[in-house]
Amino acid sequence: MRSGGIFDLAILNDRISELDALAEDPEFWNDPSRARKVLKEKAGIEGTIRSFQELADALEEADMALELGEEDPDLLEEGETSMRALAERVRVAEVERMLGEEADRNDAVIEINKGAGGTDAADWADMLRRMYLRWCERRGFKTKVTDIQLNPDAGINSVTIEVKGDYAYGYLKAEIGVHRLVRISPFDASARRHTAFASVDITPDIDDDIEIQVAESEVRIDTYRASGAGGQHVNTTDSAVRITHLATNIVAACQAERSQHKNRAKAWKMLRAKLYQHELERRQAEADQMHAEKKRIEWGSQIRSYVLQPYRLVKDVRTGTEIGNTDKVLDGHLDPFMEAWLVQRASGDEG
């Protein structure tokens, strides 16, 4: 469910009172899982109220500077600068207001797989890996590659990346789908134009207190030797772990740790997160069927094209958002695409 909006202060304060009342119950800690959920919700609401108050204070200071600036040009310039900065903060707050669905505030897991296009597709998957790592870096998010499968010629066949940061999943879920690249292939001796595809999947890093029951009889567990890019430590034992959920064919793999036990634990957590995401998507698909004007989202649907030849343009086919500076996009400037998708989705016009 979506929140009522981050600026509904009366509603938010009422909710804090309700949560405080729950915490005062003598039996509150008899259910640790429920207690953690209550405290987490309270901390999130308090952070929202704090952010609103900071915006209100910044507006008051900027207004005062503009008012005094009628007699002092330096203060006028300061006030105008403050107003521009405040407008950007309000824009970010408005975007985060749309991130009120379950798990939006959670950490995320990015999974990239090469699609059609041979070596160009493997190279494209690696370009996407760098693009998302740069996006995370710009936002101050922490990342860790937990699994990577190198392509023998160039690039990668697949990669899994853990992302830790506030609203990581809420933003990154806008990237789910197939990404298409058109360029002069560096692997074609005749310098012909090639098209390559890669898929991006995003799952929330679910909390430990979210119960996703999976029995070992429902999965297949494989071990294999870890691989890494040049210069990285490469295990010489079969420490990497891949777990396949038999009913859905959903796969989770981890080779980031030297211990097979630790890799197995991480793979199990990732699998539960993927099954959680699978259930959310199933519910969304059922909801979409109720709206005839909406197009069903199928795996393999293209969401964005990155054209580097014969012209340079990145276009999101869902929102129509276009950016001509392809180098900037590939360097991780993805917020315009993410925000346009969130706005469209919030308005109920996603198609």
What percentage of the chain carries pLDDT values higher than 90?
35
pLDDT tens digits, 241-271: 999 998 888 898 998 888 888 898 888 888 8
92 shares a domain with 114 = no
pLDDT tens digits, 97-110: 778 777 888 899 99
Q: Could you give the strand order of the β-sheet that contains 250-254, starting from the edge strand earlier in sequence?
A: 219-224, 240-245, 250-254
Helix (H) or strand (E) holding 41: helix 32-68
Q: Is residue 103 part of a domain?
A: no
216 shares a domain with 92 = no
* Whole-structure pTM value: 0.65
Mean pLDDT of 224-252: 74
Helices 32-68, 73-97: axis angle to 10 degrees equals 150
Please say if the pLDDT value at position 227 is more than 80. no
Q: Is residue 1 part of a domain?
A: no
Whole-number Å distance between alpha carbons of 337 and 323? 9
Residue finishing a domain among 97, 131, 154: 97
Lowest-confidence pick of 3-12, 49-58, 234-243: 3-12
Please say if the pLDDT value at position 293 is more than 50. no
Please say if the pLDDT value at position 39 is more than 50. yes
339 shares a domain with 245 = yes
Please say if the pLDDT value at position 231 is more than 50. no
Q: Is residue 186 part of a domain?
A: yes
Mean pLDDT of 221-243: 70
Which CATH number does the domain housing residue 22 bear? 1.20.58.410
Q: What share of the chain is helix, strand, coil (3-state, %, to 5)?
A: 45, 20, 35
**Domain boundaries, position 87:** 9-97
Residue finishing a domain among 65, 97, 129: 97
138 shares a domain with 92 = no
Question: Where residue 289 falls among pLDDT bands split at 50, 70, 90?
Answer: low
Q: Is residue 4 part of a domain?
A: no
186 shares a domain with 230 = yes
3-state per-residue secondary structure call for 136-153: HHHHCCEEEEEEEEECCC
Q: How far is CA 189 from CA 185, 269, 308, in A?
A: 8, 44, 18
Whole-number Å distance between alpha carbons of 320 and 330? 18
Confidence at residue 235, expressed as pLDDT on a 0 to 100 scale: 52
Domain count, the chain: 2
Whole-number Å distance between alpha carbons of 337 and 178? 14
Q: Is residue 235 part of a domain?
A: yes
Contact 19, 42 (CB under 8 A): yes
232 shares a domain with 325 = yes
pLDDT tens digits, 22-35: 888 888 888 887 78
Eight-class DSSP state of 228: -
| The two structure tokens encoding residue 45 | 């609401």
Confidence at residue 5, expressed as pLDDT on a 0 to 100 scale: 45
123 vs 8, higher pLDDT: 123
Q: Is residue 2 part of a domain?
A: no
| The two structure tokens encoding residue 12 | 């938010």
Eight-class DSSP state of 236: S
116 shares a domain with 237 = yes
| The two structure tokens encoding residue 42 | 């309270």
71 shares a domain with 136 = no
326 shares a domain with 213 = yes
Confidence at residue 161, expressed as pLDDT on a 0 to 100 scale: 95
Q: Is residue 188 part of a domain?
A: yes
119 shares a domain with 55 = no
204 shares a domain with 116 = yes
Contact 23, 68 (CB under 8 A): no
255 shares a domain with 114 = yes
Question: Where residue 301 falls among pLDDT bands split at 50, 70, 90?
Answer: low
Whole-number Å distance between alpha carbons of 69 and 96? 32
Contact 148, 179 (CB under 8 A): no
Question: Where residue 196 falls among pLDDT bands split at 50, 70, 90?
Answer: very high
Question: Where residue 211 falls among pLDDT bands split at 50, 70, 90?
Answer: low
Confidence at residue 54, expressed as pLDDT on a 0 to 100 scale: 79
Confidence at residue 33, expressed as pLDDT on a 0 to 100 scale: 74
Q: What average pLDDT does the structure give for the chain? A: 82
What percentage of the chain carries pLDDT values higher than 70?
86
Please say if the pLDDT value at position 324 is more than 80. yes
Which CATH number does the domain housing residue 160 bear? 3.30.70.1660
Residue finishing a domain among 78, 97, 116: 97
Q: Is residue 249 part of a domain?
A: yes
43 vs 236, higher pLDDT: 43
Specify which of 31-45, 52-66, 120-134 reaches the highest per-range mean pLDDT: 120-134
